[in-house]
Structure 1
């Protein structure tokens, strides 16, 4: 059978013999919405397990709207104006509203970036600021010892409204919900303590109940309550396909459920060989980004199998810390042991990669230097068909094959 998958900005063909009965795993088609704005307003008019936002807030209260920074595809320029309209209906004045961009552990943003995220009208209408992980209020500790250190502006607010997009997250299960607070507006120490739970076997994409990372995130509510959320799920063009508003847990779960209906693909059993593309640029710009696709499809490949990853990675590792961990440790076991001993953001991605490498070999079709790929414990290739043939020859003439063209957003899993 003939296939084509995206590699950087082009499609690359390859062939898999019919004797392998290859199966292509693709997301389902997203239902259309009237418009992105109309979908958000529909959600605001029909909140889940909550009164309408205009019935919750009151004039004179200090209100914060927490939304994502420039590293996330959240269309705040669509959602924030709709939320401000709701606040206006309640008599809230613009001077009492602050939009906080949750940076987590990311860099500060430029004024132009903030304007672009919310739109110039909103930026000129209400106060818009970055969170500061060094200016926090300590509010207590979660059961597992994670400190609850919240950016002071958010901690001191009378009302907290969280915005976010919901997509698969390789150890929190999904983005969105209370994740806007932890890690969004938390201290570095709190983020590191929370992220240490990523090494648990219950911390993986698409998994919520009993996931210690997500449990930690949602326990933060007990110390820093949230009044209302608006979460959106996006289609492959990063347009809003679904919005859910209301309760911080149940509205989030509705958005997760919608995401699953499009992107979670049921498989009968793992395959011997899985051939995956990130979906191309920009998801394959570097290995730091491409790692998400590796993690998404890890459940589709059997123990001892082979994953063939097509990812250009023209920018190399893509993170100084991630690259340092790759260079510092020689084996997956060493990286996993190191993250147990001294957790470091950026290094955690190398440990996540190592956990997959304990399960299967990775053949990487890439523009990266061979030595960089080999140091990351993967086998380098520069021709997709050559990598596919090598994997099939090694696994045998009867080996089973999955092809995942959009690994960045597809989640293949057994029931």
Structure 2
């Protein structure tokens, strides 16, 4: 843990997750500081029992053991290494349900979307004791089958082993998502096991003003769920996590209705109205949410309503894997105005993040506290700095009356403006 002390007098210590550790900083008590954290007062005494509760009483669905049947083939779609989903805790009860229904042919599919392939070590870390005990494969973006088209014109092209399965089970974590409204649910299908053509067509709807965090009626999500209907999802098991990555709620059953139960719970514990501050210090929540700039950016979208126009934003994110996306990196060759112009003239997956960061950097002073070289940080439209230097600079700009918001888990919360 790094602790930074850059002031004298009465101080309060604040902690920000950073990679697999944390960075802490003292802030003088004379400043008005508001900490936005998920409500962790809600807890469950036993995570396994919470999962089993959800599986015993699925929402608008039969039990998975009743859906299964002898001789059928099942796939369970799971998150990749960029997501915090506790897959190893979800698989045993799911597999037990499938086997209770007579299914022995079970394959775990890592939903990569357009993310990179994973190492064997990463797969082992996700599956833990299930590694080697259950067949597992990775999504191949080039091995997809066309099934039709959504009303919005998105081609539905899904990974062949998923299409060929008799039973499709989706798992995931429900969090705020900056253009799909929320993660989880049918996102295990599109983008997780879809073709690049399907993913790009769907993600283009993020240009719609209705595609924003905290909206279950986001055009992106509506398109995702229509694609899932064309494929057919038999069952989902989604969870909500606290800041310690512990399961605090599980929802199982119908891919829309069960998902919305999880959404309602998340809203109660992690959605907060704010008065925009002068300075925002935000962390995505540590690894894997801050694995690269591409992923860390989501925290900025969740937190952007927490800072006023002309304010200062300090993103604390390790970014051990650099930029995280080749198209995003390519777009960083453009200056801020050019990136924004290109985005407005037509959606390009990967390029969109460059444009969104560029737009925020024109609205606020945008700092990045990371493990990256300064030149890489500047190229991504951020100001490179240590946490103490960024805060000192921001406080000099905003005076002794500066109001500060600290969001240690920006990847898991949503700050909304006051109504």
Q: TM-score, normalised by structure 1?
A: 0.88
Q: Is 1:63 aligned with 2:74?
A: yes
The change in CA–CA distance for 1:292 and 1:63 in structure 2 (over 3 A counts) is same
Which residue among 27, 45, 48 is the counterpart of 1:15? 27
The change in CA–CA distance for 1:65 and 1:279 in structure 2 (over 3 A counts) is closer
Which residue among 313, 331, 335 is the counterpart of 1:330? 335
Corresponding residue of 1:389: 392
Which residue among 49, 52, 64 is the counterpart of 1:53? 64
Q: Distance in 2 between matches of 1:89 and 1:397?
A: 64
1:329-383 alpha-carbon deviations (Å, 9 max, x no partner): 111x32233234564443332223234334433133445433333333333333x
Question: Secondary structure of the equivalent of 2:15?
Answer: strand
Q: Give structure 1 regions of 4+ aligned residues with deviation exceeding 6 angstroms.
A: none
Comparing 60-69 with 190-199, greater Cα deviation is found at 60-69
Comparing 278-287 with 178-187, greater Cα deviation is found at 278-287
Corresponding residue of 2:272: 265
Alpha-carbon distance, 1:112 to partner: 5.4
Q: Is 1:94 aligned with 2:97?
A: no
- Residues 279-358 of structure 1 aligned to structure 2 (within 5 Å): 279-280=285-286, 283-313=289-319, 316-326=322-332, 328-331=333-336, 333-341=337-345, 343-358=347-362
Alpha-carbon distance, 1:280 to partner: 4.4
Corresponding residue of 1:158: 166
Comparing 113-122 with 4-13, greater Cα deviation is found at 113-122
Question: Secondary structure of the equivalent of 1:150?
Answer: strand
Q: Distance in 1 between matches of 2:354 and 2:262?
A: 29
Q: Is 1:107 aligned with 2:116?
A: yes
Question: Secondary structure of the equivalent of 1:22?
Answer: strand
| Contact 1:308 1:387 (8 Å CA) reproduced | yes
Q: Is 1:195 aligned with 2:167?
A: no
Q: Is 1:144 aligned with 2:152?
A: yes
Alpha-carbon distance, 1:167 to partner: 1.8
Comparing 310-319 with 143-152, greater Cα deviation is found at 310-319
Q: Distance in 1 between matches of 2:270 and 2:189?
A: 25
Question: Secondary structure of the equivalent of 2:133?
Answer: helix
Alpha-carbon distance, 1:387 to partner: 2.3
Alpha-carbon distance, 1:111 to partner: 5.1
Corresponding residue of 1:133: 141
Q: Distance in 2 between matches of 1:312 and 1:67?
A: 25
Question: Where do 5+ consecutive residues of structure 2 fail to align?
Answer: 1-10
Corresponding residue of 2:50: 39
Corresponding residue of 1:225: 232
Q: Distance in 2 between matches of 1:24 and 1:121?
A: 38
Q: TM-score, normalised by structure 2?
A: 0.87
Alpha-carbon distance, 1:11 to partner: 3.2
1:43-83 alpha-carbon deviations (Å, 9 max, x no partner): 00111111222222222333222222233222222212211
Backbone CA RMSD of aligned residues = 2.6
Q: Distance in 2 between matches of 1:111 and 1:180?
A: 21
Corresponding residue of 1:250: 257
Corresponding residue of 1:181: 189
